[in-house]
Amino acid sequence: MKTRFIHSVLQLRKRLWFKPLVYCLIAVSTALFAQFADSLPFSQQLPEITSGTIETLLTIISSSMLAVATFAVGSMLSSYTSASQSATPRAFTLVLEDDVSKTALSSFIGAFIFSIVSIVALKTGFYGRGGLFVLFMLTLAIFAWVILTFVRWVDNIARLGRLGSTINKAESAAQRCMEKHQKAPFMGGVQQTVKNTLHGVEIYCDEIGYVQYVNMNALQELAAEHNLRMMIAAPAGQFLAPDQPIVILDTLEDPEPEVITEIQEAFVMGVNRTFDEDPRFGLVVLAEIAARALSPAVNDPGTAIVIIGSFVRLFANWAEVAAQQGEPEVVYNRIIVPALELSELFDDAFTPLARDGAGTVEVGIRLQKAFGSIQALDYPGMSVEARRHSKLALERAKRELPIQEDLDRVTQIASGIG
């Protein structure tokens, strides 16, 4: 329960309402903080500002910011709808997490709350000479902040939800997670091998869904307390059904019910996959965007070619980050973790592209060139997977390309791979 609570709290920052709420609290605190200037010894030497002047400025803010915030919400909703329809529904969370839009909306709402609270305080005579001066300076600062935020947000909202922007966000999210995985490929645990594979009691979870997070620290403490070794059977991103175990223990004796419950609570489950701990999900989302672009209804091979370029960059970065890392540090010596198979990454990325782009010669050519580039990367197994998918893509092209000359062009490029 503790793991899920902490994970839920950490996910709050991604909610659309979280940042506006924080800004509202800051706005209220700032409006009330100005009154402390009245207690300063030099407050009477500050320039005298009439409450009427400040009230006029605050009234302008209060009357305009609510309308601007409403407009911002409408524009953001349109962008979210556009992202879901033009890309894939799985990309919606990336657009929802856009920091510029959330900052803009939070600033507009925060400025509105600040003006309302300040007007009420002014009407009640809450401020003295020092407080009025500080409030005046704060009001001018908020004016400047709102204008700068609005200008920055207008530039961003013009691209938010557009297909190119969504692809960039998906690629960035995939790269962050893949880099994170390369730096800790076994989440601080011990790599699973043939020799240390466990075949003891299997622990199951009652929930059905995707594993979103695994609390390795909780599992390590539990294993040390009960002198156990555990093997993760369901890493982040895996879909769990009732017949699939989450952990395998190195004992044939059934553990206490309390131990089983604690193991289950170390796994956070959800209906959907997330980008945070699942390095494959970013590739899946990009592949879905490419598959949608290649559908007869859209017929946009250019987008598929752009995403092929994204895959080349991601796998090149995967190899580069791996080359910079030494031996993975073992922090949780009682937890065995399976390695992420490179073949799964390639299947997630290239199978939909090769399937749906088999009948498009420009996509077939770009795919084969991409496999040639990936094959040259210095990473174990990379060339093997590139050759495997090159052959699969060529076989699909042979079945779909109607003109022999187009097929010959694809075959010629594929012949150079291997």
3-state DSSP of 183-244: HCCCCCCEECCCCCCCCCCEEECCCCEEEEEECHHHHHHHHHHCCCCEEECCCCCCEECCCC
- How far is residue 83's CA from residue 100's CA, in Å, rounded to a whole number? 16
- Percent of the chain whose predicted confidence (pLDDT) is above 90: 40
Question: Is the pLDDT reported for residue 10 higher than 60?
Answer: no
- How far is residue 39's CA from residue 42's CA, in Å, rounded to a whole number? 9
Q: What residue ranges in 322-390 does DSSP mark as E strands?
A: 335-337
Residue 11: which pLDDT band, with cuts at 50, 70 and 90? Answer: low
Average pLDDT over residues 298-326: 92
> What pLDDT score does 325 carry?
82
Domain boundaries, the chain: 11-161, 172-183+279-325+339-415
| pLDDT tens sequence across 153-177 | 887 777 776 788 888 889 999 999 9
What value, to the nearest 5°, has the Cα angle with vertex 267 and ends 261 and 270? Answer: 120
Q: What is the pTM of this model?
A: 0.81
Reduced to 3 states (helix: H, G, I; strand: E, B; else coil), residue 40 is: coil
Closest CA to 110 of 186, 48, 188, 29: 29
Higher-pLDDT residue of 210, 162: 210
Residue 83: which pLDDT band, with cuts at 50, 70 and 90? Answer: low
| pLDDT tens sequence across 88-134 | 778 777 777 777 778 888 888 888 888 888 888 888 888 787 888 88
> What pLDDT score does 304 carry?
94
